[in-house]
Every structure is written in structure tokens, then in C-alpha cells.
Structure 1
């Protein structure tokens, strides 16, 4: 459904950037395939780390983008906005060093200290962050030698990705950085109309720690978001370190999805902005906190939590029965 909406926005409303919840440097490589027929799209998707993008649905959308860019003047940029891994940013910086015969001492030292202190999702110590940032300052000085404007801005943004990565220790800092990266895309590719694809609770406007809150604070009415909900069905997820197809928890009585399913309409779009503005007695229940599915790439025994839907989203897409995505390979 997200890809169908994206195709419509690109084809009919001239949206020219598609960015998803995946590492920025690795995602950007998809443009080599879309625009130059270089690299394999499956390899690029694998290089984006997250298995949930390695699906037939994503591949189909990439192929659609390639055909669109070939035949239309409105070219679309493919990008990511996450920073959970520094590997792609570091490799792309090193590639520029080696292609231009820059002295390798600083990049070698940077590579060594990042590998020796890699803490996954935990923050590096303040002392180590200081050392890494000093090295990144030196690395950034080489930007003045880069003539190509696109290569130069990506070189500097990769440095930013590494600076962000060493600070990420919670969803709060991650969401703030994702919002900053989306803003960077918006500012560096003008005029731009950006499609952002991410989990419900990342795009939400209500939670002050969410990416969507930060974007909405800056762009206000220019930021329009859609939430997704379903009553029952199945989905692809990671449960107990196993990736596969799982049956969802049927929405319990009293939940938002249960109430919407009682309308007996297979799927529809709910205009939450209109409901808030209308203040109709029948719609008051949806303006309060209500149980709402929180499932993402993983799941828990209780898939629901209380959420203020009307303050979180402008529109809600409801599907009564979900079907799983189709992985490109078995895990």
C-alpha cells in the first residue's frame, strides 16, 4: 500500500524523492541501479542491513522507479535517512580517499578506532567520541579538494552519519537524527517533494521523541502523514531471532482496529483531520487514547498500546486483513 501511494504521488503530484527507514549511505547506492543500471538491486537491498526491505514488494517498486526515471522528466531520488551503522559511510569516504590518492593516515586511524570501540546500539564514551570527532574534522578538510558538487555533499553527509552513529544510544536520539537527515535531503535537493516511509511511531506527530514530531515542528502543514492499521492477518517479522511469517494478534474488543472492523468495509482511509475539526459526537471516541497496534519488524505478546491516534496522524489507512510481505530469500 505504501508503494502504491508512492507511485501515485510520483506519477500524479510530482514527488521527486523517496526516502525510507534504512541507512542513508547504503540506500543512496540504489540510484546507481535506478539511473545508470549499475549494480544489482538485490545486492543493494542486502547491503541496507534490514531484512524487511529485502522483499519482492520493495524490488518491484525499485523496478518501477527505474522505468519511471527512464521515461519521465521528473526523476526520482532514492535515499534513506537512518544512521544505525557507520560501515557504508566509512567505505564511501575511504573510496574517495583512494580514488584521489589522499594521504591515508587519518582515515586509517578513524577506521581503527571505530572498529575497536564498536558498541552496536550503545553510545561510545565521551572520550572516544571526542577522538573520533577530531579525526572526522581532519577528514572533512579534504572536501575542499572535491570538485563534483554531488560527491562533495555526500562526502560531508557521510561524515555527519558517522558523528550521529557514535551518539545513538536510544530511539530518542535516533529519531532526532533521522529528522535531521530528512531535513538535509529536503534542503539539498530543491525544489523537492519528499515521500518518507517508516514505522507508524516514527512518523507520528504526537510523541515528542519521534522523528515525525521534529519534522512537524519545522514544516507544520507541509508535513502530512499516514498511519496504518489492520484488524487481523499475518505479517513477516523477527521473533526470537527467527525471521518468517507470523499470525498477528486479532485486534481485541475496545481497540481502534476492532471498532473500525465493525464497519464491515475491507479497507478505507480515515480523515482524522476532518474528524478533529468536525467535533461530531460519534467521532469523540477516536480523539482519545485508545489501544492501537504497535507491531513493527518484531513483535511482543501484547501487540497493542494506548495511543492518541488523532494527534498522531492526519490520515489512517485501515485494512481488515493483512497479508505478509514476500522475502527475496529465506533466513
Structure 2
């Protein structure tokens, strides 16, 4: 996490990057970004504790990054400020109240209908749409689409009472309500043909480019999301973005061999709670991690396009080389977390021989 902070800071100060996008809830990021725009460093800790959904980001390291963004923005013109934006779509906790509040800034003839529809969205989201059939869900989505049409029909009124940017933002938040609904509905159906979450995270990231008028964006997410992976009839977030943005999307993955990290423990089928995990065994033989560890370097950068120009590396990749890759859960058996590595998934990698666990906020 500290390395990602340093990378973003470097890109802001030396290459004009303005947007920090992250695999975090879109709605929650609105509140945090408001504090960052106003330079309210003192509010960051409480906002992280009260607004963030994922424990993953509730760390001292992320707090340091957000506080740096606050400090950076102090005294700067609006066009020179940096922004923090989530792209994830798994919760409607904040999307619904944000839309409700925005619709109240002027008198709208469809206000009662909007309130009724958003109430249905709130109740259905809380129950993961378990009582919806495919037909009733399609009808529900049609209602949300109709609300978007009504919003557009009264755009001039809403812009006059707020601003063009505020209108665009809240129209997007309403779109997030539909996204979250689809993610939840199809997840409870165990429909895996389309990865709705990654599809919409990619769309939200692409929307940021339009909203911020093609400012440069850093996107922080798990390797499995940023990678250019194809599966099913769709793929990962990175697969969508690679197709849409081509060489304007560069993929930087992270790799480590040993050390400590924070994850939910698991024994058998039971979760044992959030704790600092330790990986102290040597990497699996012939894995990418093992080969990188042989350098005896603590950290370094890899250009995969250059690396596979060498015949030995090309052949090794073709022979289904594995790498260590985990997410939020760890069962203390590293063998379970080795999977085939494809160099087409990333442009670059940063390797750390040893990682250090994050420091969770208290």
C-alpha cells in the first residue's frame, strides 16, 4: 500500500495525474472526495471509519494517502486539485440517499414516483432481490431507466439549481443503483456467464475519463480485476478497459514471495476472523515468485513485454508457469493460491521479496 501511495504521489507531481480511482464503493467515495476537495485532513479518519464498506481500505496506509491528497489540494485552484473516486458497485447504502437529496433541490412532477421507486430499490437491495423473478426484475430495471429519462427531461431545471457537473455526477449515481441491483440479483441466481461487477467497474472507470475531461487516472484494484483476463462471454475489468482504451490503459501488477499481510483467516469452511497472516515458506519451485526471489533483490520493476522477448522466458511462460495470488481470504496453505500466470494479463509487474501487513485503523 505504501508503494502505491508513492507511485500516485510521483505521478501527480511529475506527470500531471489528477484522479485516484479505486476498487471501493462509488457512493462512499463522494463523501471522502468532498473532504479532499476542501482540504479537510482532520475529517479523513472519521470518514473512513463511518463511510467505507471494506476493511481492506480502512488502513493507516490508505489514510496517509488520503490525507496527503487533502494537503496537496490546499490553496490550489479547482482545475489543479486531485480527486478520489470509487468505481465499485456492490452496495446502495449511499447511492439512494444521494439521489433522493439531489431530486429535492427543485420541484419535480415525478418526485412521488421517484420516491416510491427508490424505496423499492432500497428494500430489494437489502434483501439481495431474493423475492424477484426474472420478469419482475426486468420490470424494475425498466422503472429505473424511466427515472433516468425523467432526470434528463428536467436537466435544465436541475442544472440551474446546481451545476452541470453536479447533474452529471448524480445521473451517474442513479446509474449505480441499477448496476448494484444487477450485481446482486445475478449473484443470488449464481449466474456466472457475465461478470457484471467487473463490467460495471470498467464502465465507471471509463466514465471518469469523460467526467474529468480526459484527465489522467490511476486505478487501484486487485490484480485479478486490473488484469486483461478473458473468461466466460466477458472478462475482467481490465479486459474491458484494454479493449476500449487500447494502449491508453497500462496494467501494473504486484507480486511478492514472503512476509506478512492482512486477510480473513479460514480453517476448513469456517472463517476465523481478520488477522495478520504470515507467509514464511519459500515460493513454489519454478513459479514466477521463485524465479524472482533468486535475484536476492528486495524489490524491482519488470517489463513483461521485454522479458518474453528472451527465448528462455518465452518458453517458461508457454509452459504454464504459476504465481502466488490471493485475495481477502487465506487458509494458511500457500499451495492453494498458486495459479497459472499469463504475461498477456499485465504490461508490468513490481516484485517485492517481502511484504508487510497493513495497519488497520482503530
* TM-score normalized by the length of structure 2: 0.83
SS of 2:263's partner is: strand
Q: How does 1:219-230 map to 2 (within 5 A)?
A: 219-230=245-256
* Change beyond 3 A, Cα 1:187–1:248: same
CA RMSD of aligned residues (A): 2.3
Tell me the equivalent position of 1:70: 74
Q: How does 1:153-302 map to 2 (within 5 A)?
A: 153-168=168-183, 169=187, 172-208=195-231, 209-239=235-265, 240=271, 242-248=273-279, 250=281, 251-276=283-308, 278-282=309-313, 284-286=315-317, 288-300=319-331, 301=333, 302=335
TM-superposed CA distance for 1:192, in Å, is 1.2
Tell me the equivalent position of 2:37: 35
Residues paired across the two proteins, number: 328
* Change beyond 3 A, Cα 1:23–1:128: farther
Q: For 1:121 and 1:321, how far apart are their aligned partners in 2?
A: 43
Q: For 2:238 and 2:43, how far apart are their aligned partners in 1?
A: 32
* Change beyond 3 A, Cα 1:50–1:167: same
* Change beyond 3 A, Cα 1:241–1:185: farther
TM-superposed CA distance for 1:282, in Å, is 5.0
SS of 2:70's partner is: helix
Q: Provide structure 2 residue ranges, at least 5 long, that are not aligned to the other structure.
A: 266-270
Q: For 2:129 and 2:146, how far apart are their aligned partners in 1?
A: 25
Q: Is contact 1:291-1:304 (8 Å) kept?
A: no
- The Cα offsets for residues 161-206 of structure 1, whole Å up to 9 and x where unpaired, read as 1111111125811111111111111122113111000000101113
TM-superposed CA distance for 1:283, in Å, is 5.4
Tell me the equivalent position of 2:87: 81
Q: For 1:31 and 1:321, how far apart are their aligned partners in 2?
A: 32
SS of 1:166's partner is: helix
SS of 1:205's partner is: coil
Tell me the equivalent position of 1:50: 54
Tell me the equivalent position of 1:130: 138
